[in-house]
Structure 1
């Protein structure tokens, strides 16, 4: 279990509690690795109290995820954002997918804290996009350890770091979609406006497809020209 974190300790605390509760219920052992780009004392304390391995890192999500994978010792690597909302069946679903031969997979996008029509429509649009494109990191991407490194790991980029990884995993075998078990926070969507954020996300993706550097896109994000997805 690899979790990149940057000033999101409130959400991280909730996720760590969910993970340990799920571990005790399923009896599936977990190694939790938190890669903290803020080098936060509170984050370190949360990791100590929840028996999670804490590691400092530079603020680049791709680099954080690669670092976490290198520190992990288990055969299954599961990458979660700190604001993920974990259902009780999620850990078992990941374990079963790997046991049945998947090289990796991801969860269907579902907002855990809203049932508004905008959110439901975004979920359907993302489900369609996932069929022809790449699911993003907030959808809980997981992989066999050997397949992950054979695919080249996450790219060492601050944005779109999962794109080459997912393509590499699909080339190796079954990349499984899991329907239920993981929720995504809608806080940034509601803060920015559903359609404003969706439109900007698509512009960001188009710019990336047109070979604009992810580092340039990250600088645009840092100036809040393009919001974080």
Structure 2
């Protein structure tokens, strides 16, 4: 791949976004690779987010607070040969661009990073991480694992669904029909703040129940409302 477009959905999380944009700015540079294109799809349309994007040279795209629509809007503006979708609160491994380039050299249409909880960790992380890895192999990896793919494959697979939850499910299934879509060895470090806030087992239980309800055909908008109602204060 000669160029990457990075699409980041954000909703009132400017502090985490600034940290991620700083990480992206410091990634190892390759003279054979075009400069990174970074697109932030802001579901709040907040001027604070716009200012953070301006500071780090990212394109700010205001829109409605629906992650699937935010991602679609960002992807529609992307010009890179490859698309990389990141959540604002992740921490990157040392050289993720090289890891993705190696995947494309092996004729993969795309893939995702290994799920690993960031610090502060707790002992449930040791059980949840291998369980999540198994779920990704037999099911679908979610957007917090840094899904990446060629732009052509993204378009052929139909892109993200315009939903607030599970927007990547149909996309991943479409990519797997097109070719190899697999996990990388490199981890992406996931912010554990929501697990600490809600309780590790309680949050896992809620997430699995939402996934089961989605599999039974419950509409994502209804699930998103249920998800918000389950949050603790």
Could you tell me the TM-score, scaled by structure 1's length?
0.94
What SS is found at the alignment partner of 1:43? helix
Asked whether the 8 Å contact 1:201–1:226 carries over to 2, the reply is no
Query: Whole-Å Cα distance in 2 between the matches of residues 213 and 9 of structure 1?
Result: 29
Structure 1 residue 121 corresponds to structure 2 residue 103 = no
Structure 1 residue 54 corresponds to structure 2 residue 60 = yes
Residue number in structure 2 paired with 1:70: 76
Query: Whole-Å Cα distance in 2 between the matches of residues 108 and 15 of structure 1?
Result: 18
- Deviation track 1:3-51 (CA, whole Å, cap 9, x = no partner) reads 00000000000000000100x5445421000000111111111111111
Residue number in structure 2 paired with 1:9: 14
Structure 1 residue 188 corresponds to structure 2 residue 194 = yes
Asked whether the 8 Å contact 2:115–2:187 carries over to 1, the reply is no
Residue number in structure 2 paired with 1:210: 216
Query: Whole-Å Cα distance in 1 between the matches of residues 60 and 30 of structure 2?
Result: 24
Could you tell me the TM-score, scaled by structure 2's length?
0.93
Query: Whole-Å Cα distance in 1 between the matches of residues 166 and 200 of structure 2?
Result: 21
Q: Among residues 90, 107, 115, which one is paired with 2:113 in the alignment?
A: 107
Q: Among residues 164, 185, 188, which one is paired with 2:170 in the alignment?
A: 164
Query: Whole-Å Cα distance in 2 between the matches of residues 18 and 26 of structure 1?
Result: 16
Query: Whole-Å Cα distance in 1 between the matches of residues 231 and 51 of structure 2?
Result: 32
Deviation at 1:97, TM superposition (A): 1.1
Asked whether the 8 Å contact 2:116–2:187 carries over to 1, the reply is no
Give the aligned length.
Answer: 225
What SS is found at the alignment partner of 2:117? coil
Asked whether the 8 Å contact 1:47–1:54 carries over to 2, the reply is yes
1:88-99 matches, within 5 Å, as 88-99=94-105
Residue number in structure 1 paired with 2:179: 173
**Structure 1, gaps ≥5 residues long:** none
Residue number in structure 2 paired with 1:19: 24
Asked whether the 8 Å contact 1:112–1:183 carries over to 2, the reply is yes
Task: Please identify runs of 4+ aligned residues in structure 1 that moved more than 3 A.
Answer: 24-28
